[in-house]
Amino acid sequence: MNFEIIFVLLGLVGMLVALIMDKMRPGIVLLSLVVLFMVAGIISPKQMVAGFSNRGMITVALLFLVSEGIRQSGALSSILKKLLPGKESSVSRAQLRVLPVISSFSAFLNNTPVVVIFAPILRNWAKKVGLPATKFLIPLSYATILGGLCTLIGTSTNLVVHGMMLDRGLPGLKMFDLAFIGIPITVIGLSYIIFASKKLLPDERPDTFEDEEAEAVEEQGGHIVEVVLGARFPGLKRKLKYFDFKRRYGAEIKEIRQGGQVITGNFDEVTLQEGDTLVLLADDAFTRTWGDSSVFLMMTNGQEIPTRRVPEWKKWTALALLVIMIVGATIGELPFMQERFPGMKFDMFFFASVTAVVMAWLKMFPPKKYTKYISWDILITIACAFAISAAMEESGLAALIAGFIKSVSGSLGAWGALALLYVVTLVITELVTNNAAAALAFPLALETAAEFGVDPMPFFMAICIAASAGFATPIGYQTNLIVQGAGNYKFMDFVRIGLPLDLIVMIVSIVLIPLIWPFQAAGA
């Protein structure tokens, strides 16, 4: 191994350790590594910044705005409320009624706002009909993840892989390429969830604040409000005794749910983490001021997320714009459109740009605050992922690992290599983050396909699925973190139901992907 390979390998190991330790946000960790690679001369300044102008990365940013426009329109909550059954229902029947619809929404919208909208509604409905909310919140998160596997825009990871393919001069993914594998996985995955959640998920864990206490607070002019801490919350990684929450936000902490534990006292010694759920005693001013803030991933007052009243026309217009965006991008990929308009590319980037701007003009989200709805850390992570991928290829590390994968695969050939690449990507996803997993796996997929002399498409599809299918831990996906506090789940609750789902999705993927995209000779 030469110096460059050793340097890049040590850098990647250090990156993974830093991400697992969670001392800094993923974006700054990856940015630090990319700067080191540039200083060492492994990548050029041009390669370092190339990801920031990538169409896939910018499309992710635009889709954040589109998802926010849909969320603030109130269209999704109205649809779910009509779907929820009355009192005479069981857990399985209710799941069968709502989970497929939730997966359908998340195939075209960012998963986080879907969970943020639906989690309070489902929990409040479950309480009214006497069913345990714990049987619905993890399934909600899993349904959004499964739905995201079905389309190009279902998750940012798919767009990362798409963007990297375009960078290499490959055609990229079409809107519904992933549907061929994503829909079977979603059908099988939802069937498993509906069958297994009744036994593998815990029964209701009662809130510390009972109804009588909440009523007493209401009589005093306050409200019990629950908030989930987001990545932009300024007190993360700090003990509460050094962060005066009441002075900053005008609300008093009554309970903290962290990692499945309920903390009801000695708050000063608690170190706040992203995804923690805080139960607060607050007034109306708190919800008005912070109800739409990115400081908190979710805010509920025992009913649903506080939102302003939205005119009915905005709900229908938001849904119409979403449909136009999806249909337009799908038709724009057809050969006759490309032949008729050779100078234009009517892809998802084009239609997401138009949709986001129209939503801003129609004030479906506050145009003066549009930057707050974009997760900049995710965008920086994605942009840096392109540079890391380039460093792995330029140094020769990707080719070296690909050769190792080929030797380990042995008699199983390309099929065995596909399985090994899937497992590696999945482990990184569960421990770190999905976009970092895609960044590391993409050059390996490219080089592994070259080792076997086959088309890389099966390996790209495996990355898309493995990098998004994080079910076994609450840290594998942000939506898992959100529902962990809302449902007061423990870490092992995710392992118990999520690990079998990881295995099911992996087996289905490894079996079906080569059948749908055969290992044919490259260029054939």
Give residue 357's pLDDT band: very low, low, confident or very high (50, 70, 90): very high
Residue 214: Cβ within 10 Å count: 16
- The per-residue pLDDT of the chain, averaged, comes to 85
Give residue 305's pLDDT band: very low, low, confident or very high (50, 70, 90): very low
Q: Judge whether residue 304 has pLDDT over 50.
A: no
Q: Dump pLDDT digits (tens) for 465-514.
A: 999 888 988 876 778 888 887 788 888 899 999 999 999 999 999 999 99
Q: Judge whether residue 457 has pLDDT over 80.
A: yes
**Taking Cα atoms as reference points, which of 80, 54, 227, 72 lies closest to residue 156?**
54
Kindly state whether residue 295 falls inside one of the protein's structural domains: yes
Close Cβ partners of 354 (under 8 Å, ≥ 6 residues apart): 325
Kindly state whether residue 236 falls inside one of the protein's structural domains: yes
- Alpha-carbon distance of 34 to 369, in angstroms, equals 30
Residue 103: Cβ within 10 Å count: 26
Kindly state whether residue 496 falls inside one of the protein's structural domains: no
**How many domains does the structure of the chain reveal?**
1
Q: Which domain CATH number covers 238?
A: 3.30.70.1450
Kindly state whether residue 56 falls inside one of the protein's structural domains: no
Q: Dump pLDDT digits (tens) for 245-293.
A: 888 888 888 888 887 778 888 888 888 888 888 888 887 778 777 776 7
Kindly state whether residue 131 falls inside one of the protein's structural domains: no
Instruction: Measure CA 86 to chain center.
Output: 31
Please report, as a single letter, which amino acid is at residue 280: L
Q: What is the mean pLDDT of residues 404-418?
A: 84
Q: Dump pLDDT digits (tens) for 65-121.
A: 998 888 888 777 778 778 887 777 788 888 998 999 999 999 988 888 888 888 888
Kindly state whether residue 454 falls inside one of the protein's structural domains: no
Close Cβ partners of 57 (under 8 Å, ≥ 6 residues apart): 51, 159, 160, 163, 379, 382, 383, 386
Q: What is the mean pLDDT of residues 213-226?
A: 65
Are residues 131 and 174 in contact, defined by beta-carbon separation less than 8 angstroms? no
Q: Judge whether residue 42 has pLDDT over 80.
A: yes
- For the chain, give the percent of residues with pLDDT over 90: 24
Q: Judge whether residue 221 has pLDDT over 70.
A: no
Give residue 217's pLDDT band: very low, low, confident or very high (50, 70, 90): low
Assign residue 453 a region (left: φ > 0; alpha: ψ between -120 and 50; beta: otherwise).
left
Q: Judge whether residue 311 has pLDDT over 70.
A: yes
Predicted TM-score (pTM) of the model is 0.86
Q: What is the pLDDT of residue 306?
A: 45
Q: What is the pLDDT of residue 303?
A: 47
Please report, as a single letter, which amino acid is at residue 468: S
Kindly state whether residue 196 falls inside one of the protein's structural domains: no
Kindly state whether residue 459 falls inside one of the protein's structural domains: no
Domain carrying residue 228:
211-300
Q: What is the pLDDT of residue 99?
A: 93
> Which stretch of 28-37, 225-234, 449-458 has the lowest confidence by average pLDDT?
225-234
Give residue 31's pLDDT band: very low, low, confident or very high (50, 70, 90): very high
Q: Judge whether residue 308 has pLDDT over 70.
A: no
